[in-house]
Structure 1
Amino acid sequence: MSPARRLLRPTEEQWRALPRRVSGVRTTVLAWLAGALATGGAFVADRGWEDAPIPWARSVEALSVLSGTVILLAVLFALAGWALGRRAVFALPALMTACLAVHAPLGAAAVPVWAVGAAIGWVMAILEVKGPLGQLTAVRALSGSLPGSDNVEVGPRALTAERSALNAGRRRLLPLAATALALWTWFVLDWARVRNTIPAAAEDSYAAWPAPLALIATWLLTQQAFSLGWRHRAHRLAGGAAWEVPARGGPVWVGPDRDLFAGHITRTEAESAGCNCIIEGTRRNLIGRSEADEHSVPADDYCPVHGIDALNALSHESLKSLAGSAWVWDVDSPMPRTGPASPAIGMVLVGFAGHAFTGIPARRTHDTAEAASRYMETASEALKDEEAEDWDDSDILSPRPRRRPGQDRPLPRRHSRHGDSLPPRTRLVPALIRCARIGGTPAIRAPSLGPGKRA
């Protein structure tokens, strides 16, 4: 996978217009109920309570063994098919078709019931496939219509996370294949043995117990291989870009990354000469309170390198170049939102290709995008009729008041346990005020009164 990706910026309307899948709970329940009703109807149609035991010679015939196997699987699906989740939609038509194919040559009375169950199953499976295909087509169309003049370099952590997410489930293929092969071998050897064996008087019929287990393992192997192949195919068709998407709406949940919260510096920055942020953060017990501390530390207000005095001593051009740095902004304020006037920072989805691959959330700074960890998981899918959480809400991002881009109102002042007033020696730099008005209403850092500190 190439680290260089096209940077795509869909509008909020374009992002919301992408189709979503329906809820998996509804689909699972409908598939399970259809299978349960078909199995129950077949039992009633065949008057199963009147069936006599099958003689031994007939029970070892291929058709009888296959019939008993699919019936047992149908009963298991009726009892616990809901446990398969969305995969029940694809298990239903396969199972109903197998029951129809086995019982049709026997002239069973339940053939029409199995036929109706198979028809319902195939319709549900087609509708389930239609959703992801339509979404992938829409993503490809939107990707082709958006200007991609800007490129972004994806960092090694994001690339590793993307590769791991793409290959998720690959390690299960070998154990599933080995299990299926072992069960089929057991069944064939056992079946060959009993066909040449004279049964005891008490044995009325043969039960091929390894056969249902072998079929289940084979189906799981097929489903896992298809899911893996579909994910790679979708990513190959539409996953060659980094999407800088709006926080609201869309087919996936896109929330704020911890690294996008202000008032922090990276561990690498904290190890620079003259920086005492780690020492002061440890002394004031500010490090180790969250998972974000693994990659960043709070910027100390009195640090010679990242403190308020160092910030105020910077030139106008230096301040503008640091607008995308987290330590410049107040810890109780979010980072400025990306917009046409501020393309320096933002959240991106690396490799987004719709439902098949929802993308790796990464933080973009200028022309690079990096994930917080190489174990970062893909973004969560947003289903149809679900309203995405408003990540711009002040209760989620910050206790500070928020404003919309372009709205002229005072910047929020830093919240302090000692009061809301800014220390007299702090001045707000005009260059950063203008940067703040680009979007997201971040606040300029102001020193808090810590232990042993004087304003």
Structure 2
Amino acid sequence: MNKTYSLVRPDAQEWSALPLRPAAWRQMVVACLIGVATTSAAFIADRGWEDLPPEYWDGTYQVLDMFGISAIFMAILFSVGGWFFGRLAVAMAPLVLLYAAVPFTVDGNPSALIWWAGTIAATLWWFFQANFTVRQIRAVHTLAKASGTRQTVELGPIAGKALKRVTRRGICWAAGLSLVAALFWVATLVIAPTELGHTHKELGDLALSDYLTTAAAGMSILALIQWLRCGWRGMARRHVGNSVWHVPVGNGPVQGLWSQHSRDLGTVPFGEAQSLPTCICIEEYLRSDPDEDEDFYETFGVSASNYCPVHGLDQINSLAPEEFRSNATNTWLWDEDSPEPSSAPAEANRSLLIGYAGHAFTGLPARFENGWVECDPYLDYLAPEREPGFEEPHWERPLPPPSGVLDRIDLVPAGLGGYAIRYRHGRAWFEANDRALGSPLIASK
């Protein structure tokens, strides 16, 4: 049985007013600067530029030495490479600095207080950023309740599987990182006993255990953060509820959405074209693009041929007005650049997001299909989060041909809010009521 979701339809102003997180670069830069400043201050406090005293080399290599050297490696690696982790650096910084603070405190190093100060500063920065996340989830929950339509929709089989894949992908990342960390810890447990107790002079410069412990700690920190992300995502989705969001295309908390119908216009479903013996759309499509992937056009359909006896221009223009109205939802009737036929122009410029719950789960882009909410088979990814200051690019829809009009058909009896404009040498265009009635194009008929 397909899972049932509630349908949420916010207006454009409410959708664009949802709070956004601060820019990723700002969050990351502050976290990394805390790491750099703490590591540099600790280096100065410990006078790290001085040579080690002779008695150090006669001392034995202990567990505390192993973790202390590993902590230095981790702090340096984060200071140099933390910039590449983006927003993850905000959560990494307090864990990396805490990993350094503990062994330096136990060993009584002068830099211990500096490591703890850095840990506290990084933790406060993390809490400060988490506050934006909590505020956004509350706003999304409030909007979901206020914009509920009291309608329910079912997810199609592809959408259901895509949703499970997205969830499973995050858990697999966490499990994979945990496994790698465990392997490094096992390797450390195997190698460390062969090195502990030896003098530093016997071991030479650095012990292999130092490197293994550093790798194990680094993988453990990444695994912990990934598990926390999975838990936070699940909590956010439970708080907001299982909803399908029917949202306006344009500025909002996510970007890259598209109108849910426009990409289908001017095409014929592959199954329909294949089942009609006289249809030449598949043949013409493959002749124009012989390298097209078979799975792609079987999923998204093929372009309607202008010369097809079933889907060509002659067939479109031979339909009586009543016949055209009864077939008005067939995509092959319309030019690929035409506005999509709809009951209201504003509703046409909307898209679907499955399970949107703020940045923790930005939702799966979807569409209505056969009474279900369905995803494209190849697009099982979450919608990208919009950064502050980003504006969706605006493009002007192509205008209909200025001449060659055959007739105008009122589609209101078919439940659509406009007219079909048929052309002698092209497919039909849809004109909404508010434009069609005063359109110079129609007046010239």
TM score, norm. by length of structure 2: 0.82
Does structure 1 residue 176 correspond to structure 2 residue 153?
no
Q: Does 1:133 find its partner at 2:115? A: no
For residues 308-323 of structure 1, the aligned pairs below 5 Å read 308=313, 310-311=315-316, 319-320=324-325, 322-323=327-328
- The residue aligned with 1:407 is none
Aligned to 1:48: 48
**Do residues 265 (structure 1) and 268 (structure 2) align?**
yes
Corresponding residue number in structure 2 for 1:430:
410
Match of 1:37 in 2: 37
Deviations 1:313-357 (A, max 9, x none): 656666555444422322221314674x88689531122222122
Q: Which runs of no fewer than 5 residues in structure 2 stay unpaired?
A: 428-445
Residues of 2 paired with 1:38 and 1:134: CA distance?
30
Superposed counterparts of 1:436-447, under 5 Å: 444=421, 446=423
Aligned to 1:248: 250
Ranges in structure 1 where 5+ consecutive residues have no aligned partner: 401-411, 414-419, 451-455
**SS of residue in 1 equivalent to 2:69:** helix
Matched residue, 2:384: 380
Would you tell me which structure has more strand in proportion to its own residues? 2
How many correspondences in the alignment?
422
Residue 300 (structure 1) aligns with: 305
Which structure 2 residues correspond to residues 184-263 of structure 1 after superposition, within 5 A?
184-197=185-198, 203=204, 208-238=210-240, 240-256=242-258, 260-261=262-263, 262-263=265-266
| CA drift at 1:155 | 1.8
Query: Partners in 2 of 1:384 and 1:48 — Cα distance?
Result: 41
CA drift of 1:254 comes to 4.1
**8 A contact 2:10–2:246 mirrored in 1:** yes
Amino acid at match of 1:296: G
State TM-score, norm by structure 1.
0.80
1:355 is the counterpart of 2:356: no
| TM-aligned CA distance change 1:176 to 1:57, over 3 Å | farther
Residue 406 of structure 1: aligned partner: none
Give the superposition deviation at 1:231: 2.4
Cα distance in 2 between the residues matched to 1:449 and 1:318 = 18
- Pairing 1:332–2:312 present: no
Residue 121 of structure 1 pairs with residue 98 of structure 2:
no
2:282 and 2:63 map into 1 onto residues whose CA distance is: 76
Q: Secondary structure at the match of 1:376?
A: coil
Q: What is the match of residue 16 of structure 2? A: 16
Cα contact 1:328–1:445 (8 A) shared by 2: no
The secondary structure found in structure 1 opposite 2:49 is helix
What CA distance in whole angstroms lies between the structure 1 residues aligned with 2:273 and 2:144? 39
* SS of the residue 2:21 aligns to: coil
CA contact (8 A) 1:46 1:109 kept: yes
Please give the alpha-carbon distance, in whole angstroms, between the structure 2 residues aligned to 1:348 and 1:100. Answer: 47
Kept in 1: contact 2:240–2:357 (CA 8 A): yes
Query: Compared with structure 1, are the counterparts of its residues 176 and 201 closer, same or farther at alpha carbon in structure 2 (3 Å cutoff)?
Result: closer
Q: Deviations over 1:209-250 (max 9, x none)?
A: 211111112112222222223223333333512111001111
Given that 1:337 and 1:345 are in contact with CA atoms closer than 8 Å, whether structure 2 keeps it comes out as no
Write the distance in 1 (CA, Å) between the matches of 2:203 and 2:275: 84
Between the aligned partners of 1:65 and 1:236, the Cα distance in structure 2 is 43
Give the Cα–Cα distance (whole angstroms) in 2 for the partners of residues 223 and 297 of structure 1: 44
CA distance in 1, matches of 2:346, 2:278: 28
CA shift at 1:433, angstroms?
Answer: 11
239 and 422 in structure 1: CA distance in 2 versus 1, 3 angstrom threshold? farther
Per-residue deviation, 1:305: 3.9
AA aligned opposite 1:236: R
- Identify the structure with the greater helix proportion: 2
TM-superposed CA distance for 1:174, in Å, is 4.2
**Distance (whole Å) between structure 1 residues aligned to residue 366 and residue 99 of structure 2:** 46
**Distance in 2 (alpha carbons) for counterparts of 1:177 and 1:87:** 17
Contact 1:346 1:364 in 2 (8 A): no
Whole-Å Cα distance in 1 between the matches of residues 153 and 421 of structure 2?
28
- Cα offsets for 1:374-403 (capped at 9, x unmatched): 54322111122222233xx31xxx322xxx
Comparing 76-85 and 204-213, the one that deviates more: 204-213
